[in-house]
């Protein structure tokens, strides 16, 4: 059972709320202060990714963030309800971190259209790859429908 | 914290000072700013990120988009950043190879390729 | 459909999280800065009340807070799953605000036991009465099970 | 923000300076402090709330509990508070009739009934 769960409609403004909440719960769970930025960034990335997917595939559904601070570790799970392969190909093929510089070769990136979304310059799976680069313990699991991004941080020794 | 933007001209460079959080919520404002600058003929941009508190991949996407736009006009986009937590994001994503990153605005403004 | 929904296990620490979240969403919904303290206090009271009720009657169930910022007004709903008359008698009989000074006659209040909960000195329904005293627009509705405390704030003119 | 507590003696009064948030989460600490003081024979208490940022009904309950305890020993519990947002909570609940509320610690310490 998650200790704190946040559900929100797919709007960018709520991503900040989710970030803030993740930071507060992580602090309380004993995650070291030096890791709080990482928690905010990773949870924010996972939520931003989910917002993008929901805006395309499930605009009426809420995104679910579960924050668990009752065990030895702090666990954040972000669940979307889009197609489960919306952008996970990069991750699934094991490309992730190692190939990021390639993915990002500025010359091969799509030209950002005037009206496209602001992240459009980045390849699909980029958000997930950033998370994988940041957080040691990440699991991306297809759900039915959607994807669960599960990130774990050990509590600081105290 | 919201995004703050201000621009000034130094010689043939345009310095964009960004403050606050560049994220999925605020990135569209930065994107618009960069598009406006390029449309008005400013092709040599210096983005000062010293007052940025937070940067996510949407923000990186906007910077990459800006870089592509100025390159189409043989321009440049240089970053000013010494904050470890922001630099880390560029390193993780390999973007340190894509953007020239400087320690001061002066250095960025006087840099040549 | 609520725009942001928070669910949490009945622990006092989560009441602060709920308060913080309510303040953030209320600000974003355009509630005037001068009312933010009131939002925090009222949502906090409703959550603290729900935590007390769950600890007694439904320790395994989560409390649900819905924050709606998509209409003209900011609406916060706090749902517990205890007995629906756990403490609503005061409110239901219309006692609420007017009789608070009587409820609070210090000489008639129960003696706080060494081991009792810290709010034990206050009569049942006190939290609800405080909310009613603070917020102009409050509805307390029995649910099945539990109670829904619904509080509404108009956005500031802008 | 958490609760901070410090106590000092002024004549036969004990001043408890409280800072931060007195809520359902922190109220037990304040309650313990008040119980300890009464157990150790301090029956004339002055609670300085000038640095309190937040007070909810659980906090009020702890203050009322403290008042009952000192009264059992013919003692007193006086509050120091000039913050409008905290005073409002005492007014709404009618507790301004129950607690003597002073503008300064000096005034509270020298007050007699
Ligand atoms: N990432 C964040 N971390 C902490 N607080 C935030 C964050 N984003 C927003 N807030 C809170 O939400 C409020 C509104 O934020 P902001 O996004 O700047 O509003 P607006 O929608 O008016 O641009 C702020 O006053 C702040 O309290
Ligand atoms: N009511 C609140 N409003 C805003 N932030 C809060 C609130 N309560 C707690 N926090 C945040 O949660 C963190 C831990 O809070 P606190 O309750 O002081 O921790 P602890 O459990 O260690 O006593 C703080 O650093 C702060 O960011």
Report the C-alpha gap between A39 and A27 in whole angstroms: 10
Segment C89-107 shows an average pLDDT of 46
> Does the beta-carbon distance from A4 to C13 stay under 8 Å?
no
Pick the closest to residue B11 from B40, B52, B44, B36 (CA basis): B44
Q: Is the ipTM of this complex over 0.85?
A: no
Interval A63-112: pLDDT, tens: 999 999 766 789 999 999 988 776 754 444 344 444 454 545 555 454 44
> Does the beta-carbon distance from C41 to D31 stay under 8 Å?
no
DSSP per residue over B13-80, as a string?
EEEEEEEEEESTTTHHHHHHHHHHHHHTT--EEEEEEEEEEEE-HHHHHHHHHHHHHHHTTT-EEEEE
| A127 against C109, higher pLDDT | A127
Which of A41, A98, A111, A126 would you mutate first to test chain B, the one with the most B CBs within 10 A? A41
Among A113-122, B21-30, D95-104, the minimum mean pLDDT is found in A113-122
pLDDT band at A121 (very low <50, low <70, confident <90, very high): low
Instruction: Judge whether residue B15 has pLDDT over 90.
Output: yes
Segment B33-40 shows an average pLDDT of 96
Residue B56 C-alpha, separation from nearest chain A C-alpha, in angstroms: 6
pLDDT at A62: 95
- Whose atoms come closest to the Cα of D3: which ligand? 2
What is the pLDDT tens value at each position of chain D, 113 positions in all? 689 999 999 999 999 999 999 999 999 999 999 999 999 999 999 999 999 999 999 999 999 999 999 999 999 999 999 999 999 999 999 999 999 999 999 999 999 86
Q: Whose CA is nearest to atom 12 of ligand 2?
A: A24
Percent of chain C with pLDDT over 90: 56
Candidates C14, C20, C37: which one to mutate for ligand 2, based on the most atoms within 8 Å of Cβ? C20
Q: Which helix (H) or strand (E) holds D34?
A: helix D27-39
Q: Which chain A residues touch C13 with a CB distance below 8 Å?
A: 28
Separation of A118 CA from ligand 1 center, angstroms?
A: 20
Positive/negative CA dihedral, B94, B95, B99, B101: negative
pLDDT band at A51 (very low <50, low <70, confident <90, very high): very high
Segment B42-52 shows an average pLDDT of 98
Residues D84-106: b if buried by 16+ CB within 10 A, e if exposed: eebbbbbebbbbeebbebbeebe
Interval D22-43: pLDDT, tens: 999 999 999 999 999 999 999 9
D51 touches chain C (CB under 8 A): no
**Global pTM value:** 0.80
pLDDT at A28: 86
Instruction: Judge whether residue C95 has pLDDT over 60.
Output: no
**Residue D71: Cβ-neighbour burial (10 angstroms; 0-12, 13-18, 19+):** middle
Report the C-alpha gap between D97 and B106 in whole angstroms: 65
Report the C-alpha gap between D97 and D60 in whole angstroms: 13
Report the C-alpha gap between B76 and A45 in whole angstroms: 28
With vertex at residue C22, the alpha carbon angle to CA C21 and CA C25, rounded to the nearest 5 degrees, is 85
pLDDT band at B37 (very low <50, low <70, confident <90, very high): very high
Instruction: Judge whether residue A1 has pLDDT over 60.
Output: no
> Does the beta-carbon distance from C119 to D57 stay under 8 Å?
yes
Contact A154 CB / ligand 2 (< 6 Å): no
Instruction: Judge whether residue A116 has pLDDT over 70.
Output: no
Find how far residue D16's CA is from the centre of its chain. Answer: 7
Interval B53-88: pLDDT, tens: 999 999 999 999 999 999 999 999 999 999 999 999
pLDDT at C119: 47
Separation of C139 CA from ligand 2 center, angstroms?
A: 29
């Amino acid at each position: 059972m998650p200790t704190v769960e946040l559900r929100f409609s797919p709007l960018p403004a709520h991503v900040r709320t989710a970030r803030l909440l993740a930071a507060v719960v992580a602090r309380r769970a004993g995650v070291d202060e030096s890791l709080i930025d990482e928690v905010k960034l990773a949870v924010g990335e996972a939520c931003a990714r989910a917002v993008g997917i929901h805006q395309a595939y499930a605009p009426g559904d809420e995104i679910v963030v579960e924050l668990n601070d009752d065990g030895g570790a702090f666990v954040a799970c972000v669940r979307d309800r889009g197609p489960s392969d919306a952008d996970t190909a990069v991750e699934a093929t094991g490309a992730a971190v190692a190939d990021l510089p390639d993915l990002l070769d500025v010359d091969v990136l799509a030209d950002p259209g005037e009206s496209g979304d602001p992240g459009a310059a980045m390849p699909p799976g980029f958000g997930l790859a950033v998370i994988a680069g940041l957080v040691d313990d990440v699991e991306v699991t297809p759900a039915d429908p959607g994807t669960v991004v599960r990130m774990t941080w050990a509590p600081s020794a105290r | 914290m919201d995004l703050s933007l201000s621009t000034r001209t130094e010689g043939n460079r345009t310095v964009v000072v960004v403050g606050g959080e560049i994220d999925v919520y605020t990135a569209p404002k930065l994107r618009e700013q960069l598009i406006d600058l390029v449309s008005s003929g400013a092709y040599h941009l210096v983005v000062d990120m010293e007052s940025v508190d937070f940067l996510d991949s949407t923000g990186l996407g906007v910077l990459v988009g800006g870089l592509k736009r100025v390159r189409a006009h043989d321009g440049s986009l240089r970053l000013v950043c010494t904050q470890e937590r922001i630099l880390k994001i560029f390193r993780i994503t390999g973007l340190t190879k894509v953007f020239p990153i400087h320690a001061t605005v002066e250095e960025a403004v006087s840099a040549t390729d």
